[in-house]
Amino acid sequence: MVTTTWRYSTAVEWLHGPGQMRWRRTFSGDPEQVPIARRFARAMFAGEQCADVVEFVVAELAGNTLRHTRSSKSDGWFGVEFAYGDPVYVGITDMGGGGIPAVLQVDGNRESGRGLYVVSQLALALGIHGSPALGHTVWVDIDRHKTLETPPGLAVALVS
């Protein structure tokens, strides 16, 4: 018979202990699920400097998923995955369709298409794997100490 030895530890030791903590959750493909995914992200990273960044990234990638893939169709879904570490991993999985996600350069004449670019500026790394037929996962690695700021070159001049 194998016995297990349990050890009491502090919350900090538990949070920063060995091994990487991972969470996955699926959401229905309804646009009303994006704010719920955002709140899930904020709850998972509450108290961390990167909480706003993670929340923004989830909102942007989940919104793109519903705008550009089969995830928004009847019985559609999207998945969110986090890995707590330094860097923090955030991945959004869709049901495919609509082409391959791409980071576009900022163009002042466009009213859309800036979101993935902003995500790329906030991330240490960004990647995409999968296919239009099988589905994609768009993932980012985020510095755990990163705070949400306007990336250089994206500031909007306020005029009164």
DSSP code at position 72: G
| Whole-number pLDDT of residue 133 | 87
Provide the CATH number for the domain around residue 88.
3.30.565.10
Within-domain flag for 4: no
Within-domain flag for 55: yes
Q: Tell me which residue range forms the domain holding 98.
A: 20-142
Within-domain flag for 14: no
Within-domain flag for 147: no
Within-domain flag for 26: yes
Degrees to nearest 5, angle at CA 57 with 136 and 128: 25
The residue ranges of the chain whose pLDDT is under 50 are 160
- Contact (Cβ atoms closer than 8 angstroms) between residue 139 and residue 89: yes
- Our count of domains for the chain comes to 1
| Whole-number pLDDT of residue 160 | 46
Instruction: Residue 116: name the closest of 51, 49, 78, 63 by CA.
Output: 63
CA-based R_g, the chain, Å: 18
Within-domain flag for 6: no
Q: How many CB atoms within 10 Å of residue 94? A: 28
DSSP code at position 35: H
155: left (phi over 0), alpha (psi -120 to 50) or beta: beta
Q: How far is CA 39 from the centre of its chain?
A: 12
Within-domain flag for 148: no
